Amino acid sequence: MRYVPDKTGRFSQRPHFKPQELDRECESIVAGFLRERRGEAKYPVSTDELTVLIERDTESLDQFADLSAYGPNVEGLTLFQPGRKPQVKISARLAEDERRQNRLRTTLAHEYGHVRFHAILWDMEPPSADLLRRKPTANMQICYRDTMLDAVQTDWMEWQAGYACGAFLMPASALRQLIRSYMERQGLFGVVGERDPHGQDLIEIVKDGFEVSADAARIRLIKLGILGPTGSGPSLFNF
């Protein structure tokens, strides 16, 4: 990781991570936590375990928050507190609906990405009292449903948290190990088309293996270079 100028003007500098750096750090964090908790790094990470992990590194976690004041599609919020741990708030709509459990897990992991990788920025450059009077949300990251997994890279904070979300729930080495036997059995050694039958099979394998949505599995496979628009490219396992 290195610091680069923040072109959004929010900070003077911001962290720049290569995807491989986020993969390594996120897997180290979640695997270490699972070994401490259950003696082995085995997936999926349960919702309860994800909650405990977030509570460990925050001042508070509210999974039944009313976030409607921030907009109709806001599902998560991280409140940064210079010199203290952040607070995380999750929309009550997710926890109260069993059909939204995958979205709940995605939102929890996304906000944890902000906690782990962005809280330091508010310690380095805390907002002034005057700024907070003029803009009460200056010490918050407000997260919308549509950008939880795949924000544009110019929205660097959301992009990093979205990438971290996938890396926490579907660690790279564990994901590759999960799909390896299928790839070898089918004779697949390059990038697989995401709309091809094999691509759909891989999405289902990852979805079931890590208890995530099909969309989360698809985006993670694309970001790791395993799926692409068409089935072509270098060998999957040559890295």
Pair of tokens at residue 119: 């809280």
Model pLDDT, residue 238? 41
Give the residue from 151, 169, 187 where a domain finishes. 169
Q: Which of 219, 210, 214 is nearest to 201 (CA)?
A: 214
- The predicted structure's pLDDT at residue 237: 44
DSSP string, 48-102: HHHHHHHHHTSSEEEEEE--GGG-TTEEEEEE--TTS--EEEEEHHHHT-GGGHH
Q: Where a domain ends, among 147, 169, 191?
A: 169
pLDDT at res. 232: 63
Residue 154 lies in a domain: yes
Residue 239 has pLDDT above 70, yes or no: no
pLDDT for 229:
86
In the structure, what pLDDT confidence band is assigned to residue 213 with cuts at 50, 70 and 90?
A: very high
Worst-scoring range by mean pLDDT, 71-80, 124-133, 225-234? Answer: 225-234
Residues 13 and 42 in one domain: yes
DSSP, res 5: E
State whether 193 and 224 are in the same domain.
Answer: yes
pLDDT reading at 234 higher than 60: no
Same domain, 57 and 77: yes
Confidence check: pLDDT of 190 > 90: no
Whole-model pTM: value is 0.92
159-162: list long-range contacts, CB under 8 Å, 24+ apart. Answer: 160/15, 160/17, 160/22, 160/113, 160/117, 160/118, 161/110, 161/111, 161/113, 161/114, 161/117, 161/118, 162/110, 162/113
User: Residue 153: pLDDT band by 50, 70, 90 thresholds?
Assistant: confident
Structural domain containing residue 221: 172-228
Percentage of residues of the chain with pLDDT beyond 70? 96
Single out the residue in 139, 169, 199 at which a domain terminates.
169
> Mean pLDDT throughout 71-89?
95
DSSP3 helix / strand / coil % (the chain, rounded to 5) = 50, 15, 35
pLDDT digits (tens, 9 = 90+) for 28-72: 999 999 999 999 999 999 999 999 999 999 999 999 999 999 988
* Residue-level pLDDT at 149: 86
